[in-house]
Structure formats: C-alpha cells, structure tokens
Amino acid sequence: MLSTNAPRAVPEGPLLPSTAIQQLGPALVVAPHPDDETLGCGGAIALLRKANIPVEVLVVSDGTRSHPGSRRWPAPALRKLREAETREALGVLGVESDCITFLGLPDGAVPFEMDLEAFAWAVQRCRRYLDELTIEVRAIVLPWRRDPHADHRAAWNLLYRASGGFRSFERRLEYPIWLWEQGGAQHLPQPWEVGSWRLDIAAVIERKLAAIAAHRSQTSDLIDDDPDGFRLTPETLAFFERPWECYLEAPCSLNAPH
C-alpha cells in the first residue's frame, strides 16, 4: 500500500529513445542492496550491454536483513543466496560475473560519518575499488541521494566521499527506488538540484522482468519460514515493470541528454 506521505508526482521528465543511453559510455552502477541495480536501472544496463558498452556493478550491502527470522536461511547462507541471485539477474542483463563486486557492508547499517571508524573503512574500501577498476568509467549511476531508505542515502554518500565529489565522472545519474512509494516532500528532488528524464526500455523490458524474477528471495515464497520477512509486493514491483526508467541528473554533469 502506498504511504500517505508518498509524492503524487515524482518528476519524470521527457521520454528519451533507448539509444540515448549509449551517450553514457562505460558505466559504474551502484546498488545499495542486491536487487536495486535490477529494479532501478536493469533496462539501462541491458541496453548498454546490448551496445557492447562495459558496465561494472558495485553492490554495497550484503542484503541479509531481508529475512532475519529465518532459521533455514541464517545470514551467511542468505548472503550467498542473494549474491547468487544478483549474478544470475545481471547475467540475464548481459553483465559478466567478474564485473560484479560485493562490498559486503551490513544490511540496514551502511555507515554515515557519525560512525567514524566504520565510515572511514568503507570510504577507503570504495576508494580502492574505484582505483582498481580496469576500465575508464565515464558515468556513475547511483541511488537517489535522498531516497527514503537510509542505506540508499548512505551508499550515495560513500561514493561521493570516495570519489572526491564525483569529479572523475563525466555523468552522474541517480535512480529512485523507494521515492515512488514512501517518499515525502523532504525526499523529492528540487529543480535546481537535478533534471529528470525517462529512458525507453521497451526493447529490453522482457529481459528486465526476467532479471527481477531471478531475485527469488525477494519476489517469491522461497524463504517461507519468516512471516515478517521482506517481500516486494505487486504494488511496489509495478513501479519497476514499466517500459521506461526514470533518471535524475545533476546539472553539473557534462553532455546532459537533450
């Protein structure tokens, strides 16, 4: 069910043709949890790979809090399961396994600056990851900076700090996840912060839907021994099953779409 605080009009912007995504060049996609990369930008990933443009994916948290009450799937087993699901989903989208990195930070506790030691370690780890990338990434694709989920905001902040304010990237795109369903006025983008546009993903929508389905622990009754466990509802999934994806782009980015 939609939150009563949910924004009635997340800015969506003009619909761009699928070929517009090729302007990004090699891209780094940052996912706060295993599945966010598929939900938020699975279509863009599929289109980039269809055009043979490299995509690297960084998954920040381990996703182990989705079913904390499951005895059959304790945290170590759930972590392995969610990593396997992510590899399968990204494989459907055309991303090779060696282009996927799992940072393994604790789900629900991706650190902010107030947790000094954990935050410093995480920033250092992200900085090392960026330094060790074997391709020259031109664009970074992140969760929306004020997404209602704290892990999403923390993931954005970590990459901002680790990259020195995104200065090494020509383009910075942000994708909403929980903004659609749980956002309030304080979470919405402001016109002076970002522009918004939509990407036509109709050509790869079936591939995206298959990739979403690969995240079985989040979309099915695969884990059925935790009555309070998380599951993506049909209402939530509907936001990500549309034949277009929404992106928010900072005006400082070069070569903004038009």
> Tokens 């990739």 sit at which residue?
211
Count of helix runs (H) and strand runs (E) in the chain: 8, 8
234 pLDDT above the threshold of 60: yes
pLDDT higher than threshold 50 for residue 10 = yes
Tell me what pLDDT residue 258 has: 31
Task: Give tens-digit pLDDT for 57-73.
Answer: 999 999 999 999 999 99
* Band of residue 255 on the pLDDT scale cut at 50, 70, 90: very low
| CATH architecture assigned to 26-249 | 3-Layer(aba) Sandwich (3.40)
How many residues does this entry show for the chain? 258
Strands 244-249 and 195-200: what pairing? antiparallel
Q: Tell me if residue 160 falls in helix, strand or coil.
A: helix
Its pTM stands at 0.94
- pLDDT, residue 191, reads 84
CB count within 10 Å of CB 170 equals 15
User: Averaged over 117-135, what is the pLDDT?
Assistant: 97
- Copy the structure tokens of residue 192: 């002076």
* Domain segments of the chain as ranges: 26-249
* 32-46: pLDDT as tens digits: 999 999 999 999 999
Q: Give the integer Cα–Cα distance in Å for 214 and 197.
A: 27
Whether residue 87 has pLDDT greater than 70: yes
Bridge partners of residue 249, in order along the sequence: 173, 195
Residues 93-109: tens digit of each pLDDT: 999 999 999 999 999 99
Instruction: Determine how β-strand 15-16 pairs with β-strand 195-200.
Output: parallel
What is the Cα–Cα distance from 26 to 22, expressed in whole angstroms? Answer: 9
Q: What SS3 state is found at 4?
A: coil
Rama region for 70: left / alpha / beta (φ>0; ψ in -120 to 50; rest) = beta
Q: Please, which pLDDT band fits residue 114 given cuts at 50, 70 and 90?
A: very high
User: How would residue 252 be classed by pLDDT, with cut points 50, 70 and 90?
Assistant: low
pLDDT attached to residue 100: 98
Cα separation, 190 vs 233, whole angstroms: 29
